[in-house]
A and B are shown apart, each in its own frame.
Chain A
Amino acid sequence: GESVGLHLPTLSVQEGDNSIINCAYSNSASDYFIWYKQESGKGPQFIIDIRSNMDKRQGQRVTVLLNKTVKHLSLQIAATQPGDSAVYFCAENRRTNAGKSTFGDGTTLTVKP
């Protein structure tokens, strides 16, 4: 079936290092991808998005890369800070699915001081 999944359930990095969180998807008809951050006890919050006709998008300290050939996207966080510790989800939307998001399982990022 169709799925969105993350490669690693946990990631631990040193404060100040760069973090890379990966996500694979199976449906080539995906139109739009979103990364969400979920802090403990809170709902997910939007970080950055990318349309399927793009291969890179940059925000403040975050970059999303999309490789449609291998159906893979990644979230890169520069100079990771303790406040970046959270669970990160990738999600994909398709026009054929009325725009509803399908979420991956999440990667827990821990930033060590």
Chain B
Amino acid sequence: NAGVTQTPKFQVLKTGQSMTLQCAQDMNHNSMYWYRQDPGMGLRLIYYSASEGTTDKGEVPNGYNVSRLNKREFSLRLESAAPSQTSVYFCASSEAGVAAEAFFGQGTRLTVV
């Protein structure tokens, strides 16, 4: 099983450029998430989607937009990249409910210069 697949794995952007990070899951999960991870820190939630057609802000949403394209896919868009958005981005999915573990993708390492 592929689980959660993210593309691309690496990306370098210039300040002000835009890009979309893609995420797809094949586990039929309702909930999907985008996190960022900075050096020596835990994961901080950017946006999440509890079900197809719904999205909500997480802890650090500024500078990002998301689209829940269908049940499988959840994309993260940076409209105008800034150096502060240099980070590793993880997409995750889970079943609905509080007692649900999250399944993570391999991550996208983004550098904004």
Contact = CB atoms under 8 A, between A and B. Distances in A.
B99 A51 contact: yes
Interface string B50-91: 100000101000000000000000000000000000000010
A15 interface: no
B111 to A, nearest CB: 15
A93 B99 CA distance: 7
B50 A98 contact: yes
Contacts of B94: 99
A105 B31 contact: no
Contacts of A46: 101-103
A43 B42 contact: no
A42 B90 CA distance: 10
Interface in A34-57: 34, 41-46, 49, 51
A: contact size bracket: 20 to 34
A71 interface: no
A101 B99 contact: no
A95 interface: yes
Interface of A: 4, 9, 31-32, 34, 41-46, 49, 51, 89, 93-95, 98-101, 103-106
Given A31-B99, A43-B105, A106-B42, 10 more contacts: A32-B98, A44-B43, A44-B90, A46-B102, A89-B42, A89-B43, A98-B56, A99-B100, A100-B33, A104-B42
